[in-house]
Amino acid sequence: MDVQRKHYRLGIRYANVFVFLAGFAGLALLLVLLLWQLFPASPFRTTVLLAGNPVRVASWDGTRKHVTVIAFPASVAITGLTGVGEYSLESLWKLGELDKRDKGLLADSVGEALAVPIPWYIGPTGASSVREIFSLRNIFGIVTGKFRTNLSLQIFLPLALATQSLRTDAFEELNVADTPAVVQKELADGTSEQFIDGDRLDVVLGTRLEEEDVRTQSLRVMIYNTTATQTLGRRMERRVSRAGALVVGIGNDSPAVGRCIVSGPKEKLETKTTIFFTQFFGCETKVGESIRSDLELRVGSDFEKLFVPR
């Protein structure tokens, strides 16, 4: 009889534990679903730099339910922003860690090389694929600061849920090391290093990182540089073209502006193209007429600061 009572009490105890765990799991799932509803997907790409070797750039296209992954060898060199010079990707990551003012140095510099905005980054997690990195089990590392990242839970969670729901064929990975975009460059000391050639990279990328809504609208954009830095017009042209808009010309203009300005008829300023410019380039809008194009985009000192030493 005592043995039966003992087994009965153990059964009750295990049943209570099971009910507790099931209830906890149910509440956790409910919380995840509620957070997913609270933070709907952006109409534009969400692009994240994944540090490591290789360095990956993962870009989620919520419209097409597709993820484009661009992989670079960590040893390949690019020109870092804010005048730091040419460094390997792994060195730029370390520089960003040392410079507390510019923790996103690698993401910003790779973004300039690709001509796409990369607002988010995450350091090495020990995972080997995008699906593993954006796994729900890494939520703890995001919340506790285990990973070096600027991703908040509000950004990470929708990406993780979206990533886990995608089929394998929804992921497209391009290894830049296997393309003509990586070239050998001779250094002053007689040695050589691998470097990313921007023009060749543009050809390799093609339309992979276009914004669907911007491409569909196909607005004509005239770009004006209001600074003394001659390369700014071309730099902005790459960004605008990569998004999918049609650049019809690049020119100089005055007076100089600080924050970039997008001007055009009121109906053109309400388009997804203009919203993209304001959201990712930090532009303000101004109603006006444009003879040569649908929109005029003037770049100024705020954009120039990205390329001069601090």
CATH class of 46-178: alpha beta
Q: Which of 279, 239, 262, 241 is nearest to 44 (CA)?
A: 279
d(CA 244, CA 53): 30
**Cis bond before residue 180 (omega within 30° of 0):** no
* Phi, psi torsion values for 265, nearest 5 degrees: -60, 155
- Digit-coded pLDDT (tens) for 179-234: 999 999 888 888 889 999 999 999 999 999 999 999 999 999 999 999 999 999 99
Q: Where are the domains of the chain?
A: 1-38, 46-178, 212-307
Mean pLDDT, all residues of the chain: 89
Strand ranges inside the chain, DSSP E: 46-50, 55-61, 66-72, 77-80, 85-88, 120-122, 171-175, 182-186, 192-196, 220-225, 246-252, 261-264, 284-287, 295-299
- Digit-coded pLDDT (tens) for 118-145: 999 999 998 989 999 999 999 999 999 9
> In this structure, are residues 182 and 201 in contact, taking their beta carbons and an 8 Å threshold?
no
> In this structure, are residues 122 and 50 in contact, taking their beta carbons and an 8 Å threshold?
yes
Give the CATH number of domain 212-307: 3.30.70.2390
* Rg of the chain, C-alpha, whole Å: 24
Residues 6 or more apart whose CB falls under 8 angstroms from that of 206 comprise none
Beta strand 246-252 with 220-225 is: parallel
Torsion of CA 291, 252, 260, 222, to 10 degrees: 30
% of the chain residues with pLDDT over 90: 77
- DSSP 8-class letter at 292: S
State whether the Cα torsion 86-90-94-100 is positive or negative.
Answer: positive
pLDDT in tens, the chain (310 residues): 555 555 555 556 665 655 565 555 555 555 555 444 444 457 899 999 999 999 999 999 988 899 999 999 999 999 999 999 999 999 999 999 887 767 899 999 999 999 999 999 999 998 989 999 999 999 999 999 999 999 999 999 999 999 999 999 999 999 999 999 999 988 888 888 999 999 999 999 999 999 999 999 999 999 999 999 999 999 999 999 999 999 999 999 999 999 999 999 999 999 999 999 999 999 999 999 888 999 999 999 999 999 988 7
Helix (H, G, I), strand (E, B) or coil at 61: strand
